[in-house]
């Protein structure tokens, strides 16, 4: 075969029909967001730390019974433990310097009383894990409640506008007019010492649902306002106007056009609000108007350690460090979720 014949024949290989090969399916926006989140090392590292904290707090009963061999909710004033072959009292009477009265044992760095004892002889490490369960539960549950209520209010106000928007916006303004902590304190003082009945549901004074509802509702304006503004902007977009022109009913517009575009904003708020709500719960519990005994939270444990700051500062520092660490990783995770769900951020990263 001559060179010209070879050029005409083309390269060797399988003969195709000339049709273009089918391209791989384009991943959806949620898959792209998850892929971008996995590439964010700071966000994934924060997620790993958060999961470890949650797992440790969930395993509090196992730590209490199998490792510490103590009861996190029972006073152990006359307790004695063995350290390096010597018997040591859990609580000792002190009359020197600032340590007047009871002086609990400090951190032993062993399985028993790893972080020491509080002023009632209870294991600080075990109580910190139990307190973390309630603090994390209240933080996430109130954040979900806040985002759910705020999402509904913001979508309804922004979509229907006019009278509906005026009524809902004025209600948000009333809530926004009060400082958050002052409003939360007032509601807690009124509700925490009495039962609340809403139809067939009754919340007792010691129920964890009271701080969840109080904290979740006071932060609704902070999420509803951005959602409302985004919905009002979406109403003017071409694809929404085209659906309106095609005669789509309001319910279909909300379900097909508005909600999918607003949902990423609400998801971004979720970890951020969880961090803020955990700090708010700690502040309320520190003031004894949050989680009520015999339940514990990081805020109540910090309150227990205030009187021991000079002699046993670790009683207050340990839950404080855990609270700060959890809030930081939640904020870092929220930043990563925001960047992964923001198309402009993905575009900037690609450029």
The residue among 123 and 103 whose pLDDT is bigger is 123
**Res 343 pLDDT > 60:** no
The burial of 242, by beta-carbon neighbours within 10 Å (0-12 exposed, 13-18 middle, 19 or more buried), is given as exposed
Domain ranges, ordered by start, for the chain = 135-306
Give pTM, 2 decimals: 0.85
- What is the reported pLDDT for 180? 86
Cis omega before residue 317 (within 30°)? no
Q: Does domain 135-306 have CATH number 1.10.3720.10?
A: yes
Q: Provide mean pLDDT across the span 160-187.
A: 89
CA 287 from chain centre, in angstroms, equals 21
What percent of the chain has pLDDT above 90? 43
Tens digit of each residue's pLDDT (9 = 90 or more) over 15-45 = 444 455 455 566 777 788 888 888 999 999 9
Q: Are 242 and 257 in contact (CB under 8 A)?
A: no
Q: What residues pair up with 196 in beta bridges, in sequence order?
A: 203
> Does position 114 have pLDDT exceeding 70, yes or no?
yes
């Amino acid at each position: 075969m001559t060179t010209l014949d070879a050029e005409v024949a083309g390269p060797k290989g399988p003969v195709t029909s000339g049709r273009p090969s089918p391209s791989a399916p384009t991943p959806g926006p949620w898959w792209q967001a998850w892929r971008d989140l996995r590439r964010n090392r700071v966000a994934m590292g924060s997620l790993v730390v958060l999961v470890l904290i949650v797992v440790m707090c969930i395993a509090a009963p196992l730590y209490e019974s199998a490792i510490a061999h103590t009861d996190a909710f029972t006073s152990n004033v006359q307790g004695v433990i063995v350290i390096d072959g010597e018997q040591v009292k859990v609580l000792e009477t002190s009359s020197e310097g600032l340590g007047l009265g009871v002086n609990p044992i400090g951190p032993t760095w062993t399985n028993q009383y790893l972080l020491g004892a509080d002023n009632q002889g209870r294991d600080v490490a075990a109580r910190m894990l139990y307190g973390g369960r309630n603090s994390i539960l209240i933080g996430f549950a109130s954040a979900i409640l806040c985002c759910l209520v705020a999402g509904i209010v913001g979508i309804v106000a922004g979509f229907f506008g006019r009278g509906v928007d005026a009524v809902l916006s004025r209600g948000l303004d009333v809530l926004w007019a009060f400082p958050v902590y002052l409003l939360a304190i007032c509601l807690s003082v009124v509700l925490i010492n009495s039962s609340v009945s809403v139809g067939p549901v009754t919340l007792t004074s010691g129920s964890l649902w009271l701080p969840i509802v109080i904290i979740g509702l006071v932060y609704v304006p902070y999420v509803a306002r951005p959602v409302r503004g985004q919905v009002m902007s979406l109403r003017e977009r071409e694809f929404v106007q085209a659906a309106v022109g095609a005669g789509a009913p309001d319910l279909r517009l909300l379900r097909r056009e508005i909600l999918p575009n607003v949902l990423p904003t609400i998801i971004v708020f979720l970890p951020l609000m969880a961090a803020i709500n955990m700090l708010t719960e700690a502040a309320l519990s520190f003031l004894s108007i949050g989680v009520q005994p015999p339940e514990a939270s990081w805020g109540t444990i910090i309150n227990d350690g205030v009187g021991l700051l000079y002699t046993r500062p670790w009683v207050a520092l340990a839950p404080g460090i855990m609270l700060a660490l959890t809030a930081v990783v939640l904020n870092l995770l929220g930043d990563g979720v925001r960047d992964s769900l923001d198309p402009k951020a993905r575009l900037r990263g690609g450029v």
